[in-house]
Amino acid sequence: MLPQHTLSISINRPPEVVYDFAWQPEAFMKWASGLAKTLVQAKGKWIAHTPNGPVQVRFTPHNHFGILDHWVVPPTGEETYIGLRVIPNQAGSEVVFTFYRTPEMDDATFEADRETIRADLETLKGIVEGGAISPGYPEAQP
C-alpha cells in the first residue's frame, strides 16, 4: 500500500454550492494549480499541460454524493488516483482531499505536493465563500 496524506478544509457554504462549482473540469483551472493552469478537452479526453508535459485527466461524473475523485495519467500510462470529497458540515461543507506518495516520489516532492494541495484548498474556499460563483460556474473569477 502507498503512504497517503489527507487534507481537509471547512467552507462556510452548503455542500451543494461547493460541489456544483468544484466538480466541473473547467473549474479546476480556477482553484487546482497542482493539476494544471490549462485543461482542455480533446477527442473526448481532458488533457492538462503540466511542467512535466501533458497528462490525461479522468473525472468522476456528476453525482449527488459529493464525490470529485479524479485520475491523472501521464504519458507513461501509470494512473494516479486522487480522492476528493465534499461532505456536509452542518450548514457548511468539509472538502477532503486524499493523495498518495508514489514509489518514485521523494520526501521533498511529497511535502511540496502537500503544500500545493493545501494552498489549492484555500483558493477553493476563497472563491466559494467570496461569492464569486453564479449559475454557469465555470466563468467564476477568484
Distance CA 59, CA 61 (A): 6
In a domain, 138, yes or no: no
In a domain, 44, yes or no: yes
- CATH number, position 120: 3.30.530.20
Give the pLDDT confidence score for residue 33 in this predicted structure: 85
In a domain, 110, yes or no: yes
In a domain, 38, yes or no: yes
What is the domain range of residue 50?
4-131
Distance CA 133, CA 30 (A): 11
pLDDT band at 133; cut points 50, 70, 90: low
If one counts every other C-beta atom within 10 angstroms of the C-beta of residue 44, the result is 5
Does the predicted model carry a pTM greater than 0.85?
Answer: yes
Helix (H) or strand (E) holding 10: strand 4-11
pLDDT in tens, 83-99: 999 999 999 999 999 99
Q: What total of structural domains would you count in the chain?
A: 1
In a domain, 74, yes or no: yes
